[in-house]
Amino acid sequence: MSTPKKSDSNLLYLSLDNKDDATKVYAIQGAFGTLGMVVSSLSFSYLLNTNMRLGALITSVAYLIAVVLSCFLDDYKVIKQSKVAFSQIVRSLYDSKHIILCLIASTLLVETLHTFTIFYNQLQYTRVNLDIKYFAPIFVVLQLVGLLSGVLAKLTKYFKKEMIGLCLYLVGIIGSIMLVYTKTIIASIIIFMLMTLSEALYLAIFSAIQNDSIKISSRATMLSIYSMINNVVMMFTSTSFGYVSSLSLEYAYRLGFVFSFIGILLFVWYWIIETNVQHLNKK
């Protein structure tokens, strides 16, 4: 599924007349994805108790419909260019090597937020003595909160996306520390709501930053290279969270703080370099 995911990101970006709208478009895309997941989750919670085979059939039909509809998408206008050699791809990556700082920083933040809101939320609810019957409704509410990212993405009209990104890192930093000491149900839910919204909004900003950084025609190749770097960092974060959580949930929250803090430092470093590069290009 990695190739289609990179393809739709590339298609959306190249289809935009105004590239400054990229964050908003990616946020809307993410919101529709979340909405689809919520609808399917509610549907399958019913189907699994009635007819599992019907649920499998509906899944297959849904994928078929998606494939058919994709055949009718308007492709972006392609300007014929000579084939990009591998050496040019390496050169392009070297010229914009500071994007690696952003890739590492973003993966540290996103994996922290995702791990806490998807995997550790139930452990936190148990820790604060929340009745298990409320777990599913709260999960649905958290996912619906993520839909607000499509609305908040409009903030990029008034603030730089990097500035908004910094604020989202602060959510990861402060939220991680608060989870260490939080013992109440309401506070835990609010923290997870903010983290869910931050993850959804940051993913849209991150997608825009990645696409903006690519200056050659082999965009899909560059996005795949970026994805490989992200996956390497994810291997480290997943292993680290798995180990420390086996010791203590609080240790996992503290590790999330460390990852988010390192992330914001790397992101600021990237932003400083990118700002200097843009100033040099204008001269």
Lowest mean pLDDT among 20-34, 192-206, 208-222: 20-34
Q: Could you tell me which residues come within 8 angstroms of residue 65 by beta carbon, excluding any fewer than 6 positions away?
A: none
- What are 6-21's pLDDT values in tens digits? 567 666 766 676 666 6
Average pLDDT over residues 57-78: 76
pLDDT for residue 17: 65
pLDDT for residue 68: 87
**Between 90 and 164, the higher pLDDT residue:** 164
| Cα–chain center distance at 122 | 21
CA–CA separation, 113 vs 192, rounded Å?
Answer: 9
- What are 194-206's pLDDT values in tens digits? 999 999 899 989 9
**Ramachandran angles phi, psi of 129, nearest 5°:** 65, 40
Average pLDDT over residues 276-280: 83
Which of the four pLDDT bands, split at 50, 70 and 90, describes residue 272? Answer: very high
pLDDT for residue 182: 94
pLDDT for residue 71: 80
Average pLDDT over residues 215-224: 81
pLDDT for residue 2: 44
Q: What is the mean pLDDT of the chain?
A: 84
Rounded to 5°, the CA angle 269-274-276 comes to 100
Enumerate helices (H) and strands (E) in the chain, giving the number of each: 12, 0
- What are 167-210's pLDDT values in tens digits? 999 999 999 999 999 999 999 999 999 999 999 899 989 988 99
Which of the four pLDDT bands, split at 50, 70 and 90, describes residue 66? Answer: confident
**Between 147 and 178, the higher pLDDT residue:** 178
Structure tokens belonging to residue 55:
């649920």
By residue count, the chain amounts to 283
Is 0.85 topped by the overall pTM?
no
- What are 98-115's pLDDT values in tens digits? 999 999 999 999 999 999
CA–CA separation, 60 vs 176, rounded Å?
Answer: 39
**Between 40 and 221, the higher pLDDT residue:** 221
Average pLDDT over residues 73-95: 68
Which of the four pLDDT bands, split at 50, 70 and 90, describes residue 139? Answer: confident
**Are 128 and 182 in contact, with CB atoms under 8 Å apart?**
yes
**Are 273 and 112 in contact, with CB atoms under 8 Å apart?**
no
Average pLDDT over residues 136-156: 81
